[in-house]
Amino acid sequence: MSEQTPSPLAPSTATSASGKVRVLVIDDEPEIRRALRAGLTEAEFAVEWAPNATRGIDLVTQWHPDVVILDLSLPDVDGLDVCRQLRAWSRVPIIVLSIRSGDADKITALDAGADDYLTKPFSMGELIARIRVALRHAAQSAGAVGVESLFRTDRLIVDFAQRKVTVDGANVHLTPTEYEVLKYLALNAGKVVTHRTLLRAVWGPHYEDEAHYLRVFVNQLRRKIEPDPSRPRYLLTEPGIGYRLRSPE
């Protein structure tokens, strides 16, 4: 079955009025676009697509998507450059969906402004879950629902206003640096935070290559907040890339 030409702006505006979350797919592979359109439409998203970077950037400015699914290997402009261009003026969540599976590719994309990264082949269920996490984070960052004063899971609570951490209702003593690491991850819960980004946020720009700092403090945090530090439930490692604090369900 062949694809139709991307719809013009008028139908997109109508879709926006329907209240559905708008997902823009920028990918030059027709098979991937068809699979994404079918899966995302079934999940009640409104979907537009672009076969190249130029059309994709145009649609971001015209259609105002809520999430962008971006391939890195585009025929006209590299997807990393698309990330950088969009981040110069837009905070739309970007989820990279690429065949490039190397750690260096993932780190570069995340540092270029992507919010998340999945490799092909992928699970539609996982992609939809990542979209929902990105939407929650974007809403908080934009103040659409207000940045929550608490990060809460089933047993872990981070109170940003009081700088207090509790596990199962008991106060947990953290050093100032431990707290700043946990706070940054909690504010970005569900997102992969690269080593470099976390080092820059907590220690400053001159410490971006000191990954051993993170290993020490992450191990200390796990001993204090995890039921079993050797099998972390909350503070997860993305091997070779960084860390992710599990988002509350």
Whether the model clears a pTM of 0.75, i.e. scores above it, the answer is no
Helix/strand/coil percentages in the chain, nearest 5: 45, 20, 40
User: What is the predicted pLDDT for the residue at 224?
Assistant: 95
User: What is the predicted pLDDT for the residue at 138?
Assistant: 76
Residue range 9-142, CATH number: 3.40.50.2300
**In whole angstroms, how far apart are CA 181 and each of 26, 189, 198?**
33, 12, 7
User: What is the predicted pLDDT for the residue at 207?
Assistant: 79
Nearest to 93 by CA among 122, 130, 123: 130
DSSP element (H, E) containing 111: helix 103-111
The encoded tokens of residue 106 equal 């993932």
Q: Which of helix, strand or coil describes residue 140?
A: helix
User: What is the predicted pLDDT for the residue at 145?
Assistant: 38
Tell the residue number behind the tokens 């092909």, with chain if given.
120
The CATH number corresponding to 150-245 among 1.10.10.10, 1.10.1740.110, 3.40.800.20, 3.30.590.10 equals 1.10.10.10
User: What is the predicted pLDDT for the residue at 148?
Assistant: 57
User: What is the predicted pLDDT for the residue at 27?
Assistant: 95
Asked if 67 and 56 touch (Cβ cutoff 8 Å), the reply is no
Q: pLDDT digit of tens for each residue in the chain (249 aa)?
A: 345 444 433 333 333 445 788 999 999 999 999 999 999 999 999 999 999 999 999 888 888 898 999 999 999 999 999 998 888 778 889 999 999 888 888 999 998 889 999 998 889 999 999 999 888 877 766 553 344 578 888 889 998 877 889 999 999 999 888 988 998 899 888 888 899 888 888 887 677 778 888 899 999 999 999 999 999 999 999 998 999 998 876
Annotated domain spans of the chain:
9-142, 150-245
- Give the whole-angstrom CA distance, residue 182 versus residue 178: 6
